[in-house]
Chain A
Amino acid sequence: MNQVSPASQAAVSFASAFAGFSRDRAGDAAWLREHRELAFADFVQIGLPTRKHEDWRYTSLRSLTEGAFSLAPQDVVSAEVLAPHVQAGDITLVLVNGRLVTPLEQLGDLPTGLLIAPLADALSVNVPAALRLLKRYATAQQPFSQLNEAFLGSGLFIEWGPRVTCERRIHIIHIGSGKDRLVTLPRHMLVLGSEAKGEVVETFVSSDEGTTSFTNTVTDIELAAGAQLDHQRCQLEAPQALHIGRVRAELAAAAKLTSLSLSAGAKLARIDIDIGLAGQGSEVILNGLYLTREGQHVDHHTVVDHQVPNAKSRQLYKGILDGVSRAVFNGVVRVRRDAQLTQAYQMNRNLLLSSDAEIDTKPELQIDADDVKCSHGASVGQLNDDHLFYLTSRGLPPTEARRMLVQAFADDVMLHAPRLHATLRPLTMGYFL
């Protein structure tokens, strides 16, 4: 093997896509073009992480270095691809290869004070919240957020004004299409004013089973005082797809975020969830469920930063692993010195259905305050033989009994998202055996 530095690998894989993108966007505002250039330079300088990076110890990115990516082109998909995910009553927004294909004027009546716009438009008219979020994360040293930043312009900007409640679920459906080494880099911003309330689901699917695309997505969330958001992310991409996603949120006083990360698709999925509890009395609930089968690898990294006193965090991540597959869970809970009376709970449970599956689970509690309630735990186990016997001894064939127990393990998490659960149950039910 000849030694190629991570930095030059990064350049090789994405430089021509970036050059093409820059040419296409030559008409954008100068500050935005410069912002992208800086981000790309940062990305190249940081380089693609290798397993020597603590954060990537268990996850190899080799498949990203196997050739250059081009930016996924505009495309259309058939109604059948969409149908299983579209639910009546939702505000549905469809992105194909990162480009919004739903005409916004067709969304019908939206609550007053709810703004849904392409992020590019929000940036071109300098919407303050959009600029604020850009600034907040500009110095992030994560290569994939910088890569996403370099291609800033696709994705949505959604803002709920103060006290605006949207009862309808907003469903963003990402569809990756095409068989080549295509990359899609959407960025969404979800901004909730004080006391506002909303629900957003992001679903990631592929147009067909052969899709090999690379999705690198970032969703930025800002909750003002007392705002509440239920955010669910559902990664169901094709078995050869690559998926790297990040959710970043900052919560002001008494704000509440409920987050679900479901990951069942892709050959390699890495999901980072960074939560800043910046206001007293804020609360975050992070739920996750990952399912892996033959050849899949999924890695969740969460960081919950208790910056102020009196905030709560609660994490439950569960994994079901089958075949030769691997999952990683790394959960950092940081409690700053001033963050007295913090309550932080973290649990990671794993069900191994095959002896060839492997899980690496690592809680990381960094606690600098003294009056706090923090606990964490992790477990790895197999299906319980006594449970299996009980179910089969009532007449259930072993495969059905196993499926019922696997489903029961998953339901624990999925019941936090009842509507998603209803649509996903047939998918997760059929996932094993």
Chain B
Amino acid sequence: MSFLIGESMTGGYGSADILHDCTIGVERGEIAVVVGPNGAGKSTAMKAVFGMLNLRQGRVMMDGQDITALSPQQRVHQGMGFVPQTSNVFTGMSVQENLEMGAFIRDDDFLGTMEQVFDLFPILKQKRRQPAGELSGGQRQQVAVGRALMTQPQVLMLDEPTAGVSPIVMDELFDRIIDIAKLGIAILMVEQNAKQALNIADKGYVLVQGANRFTDTGEALLADPQVRQSFLGG
């Protein structure tokens, strides 16, 4: 069984289900990528795994433990970190304060972790006193990822970390994400840039209308003509 897995999740925001028997998971030190058309329920699936959605069926397991009943805050304590798709930084607070808030649950000295984040994203060190709301889109995403890393999570969940950034910055962000995975952190991410993302993915999930359509290694999905045809633009 995977290190983190949302199994046969069924549920939605109100009475109508968005997810239908959807399963996504990831191993330690690996990258799993969720792709699919807009409105497929990718973000919803991520929220479900993070406990921000009431599931009618299915369960979420982490490290062999059933965490379905835990609140998002409790999951943070369990070692999960989440970067939402939108409004994922504290815009009015400085870069450094954003990172400090990321480390809010930690009682130990987190300056070492902050240095690690600055090593990963040097631009943040330079802009540490600037309000996060005054950064460029790409820099803001780095703050968002950095904030989530401050808890030293075992799992990092990213919802479209490269949304709205240029191809060069995107490649750079992907490189950093690979670096993070190499630290032994499990990375579960949603990506709109499906080809590039599947390229670095150990595992890929194609979601359509809240259900799993294809599940395989990143490589295999990229090679699958059906997947290429319908979801990767040929």
- A complexed with B: no
